[in-house]
Amino acid sequence: MLKNIPPILSPELLKTLCEMGHSDRIVIADGNFPAESMGKNARVIRCDGHGVPELLDAILTLLPLDTYVEKPVSLMQVMPGDNAKTPIWETYKEIVSRHDERGESAVGYIERFEFYEQAKTAYAIVATGEKAVYANVMLQKGVV
């Protein structure tokens, strides 16, 4: 056991966060995200049974966000014509604001297919059981 480590972070996820370097990206994916096919060149870490918000909060207690980019937190944009509601985004902004002084201005949006392309180059993808739609979030690691 270790002190001050959020218990939701598995040893595998902790190891991955530690191994990541400056500007590496990690995707925390909702339950609909094609984690295995997008993550063929990444580490795919299963966190079934957990939602994105609690994992995002735990990860950001340890992972610094990149200060050399304007938007180190990226959300997948809703497709035009899709009437999906995304109240979970407000939760994400609150969580980011607790961990980064830029607050919600650190959060940007990426078109869906571009998000997939960027996810293919991520260092890791965390597959969750999150049921909210458009609940994927990509973080770019900074320096300590």
Q: pLDDT tens-digit profile of 68-101?
A: 999 999 999 999 999 999 999 999 999 999 999 9
Bin 4: left if φ > 0, else alpha if -120 < ψ < 50, else beta. Answer: left
Rounded mean pLDDT, 31-49: 96
pLDDT at 52 over 90: yes
- Domain span at residue 128? 23-140
Determine, yes or no, domain membership for 136.
Answer: yes
User: Is residue 22 among the annotated active site residues?
Assistant: yes
Q: State the total domains in the chain.
A: 1
Q: What is the pLDDT of residues 2-34, one digit of tens each?
A: 899 999 999 999 999 999 999 999 999 999 999
Assigned domain for 48 exists: yes
Question: What does the pLDDT look like over 98-116, one tens digit per residue?
Answer: 999 999 999 999 999 999 9
Question: What's the token pair of residue 102?
Answer: 């830029």
Residue 48 annotated among the catalytic residues of the structure: no
Among this protein's residues, is 24 annotated catalytic? no
Question: Would residue 32 count as lying in a domain?
Answer: yes
Residue % of the chain over a pLDDT of 90 = 98
Catalytic residue among 24, 30, 66, 100: 66
Output the six-digit token pair for 16: 């991955």
Measured between its terminal Cα atoms, the distance across the chain in Å is 24
The identity of residue 41, as a single letter, is N
Q: Indicate the residue type of 123.
A: Y
Look over the chain and give the mean of its residue pLDDT values, rounded to a whole number: 97
CATH number for the domain spanning 64: value is 3.40.1650.10
Please compute, for residue 130, the number of CA atoms within 13 A of its CA located in the half-sphere on the CB side. Answer: 24
Q: Is 91 part of any domain?
A: yes
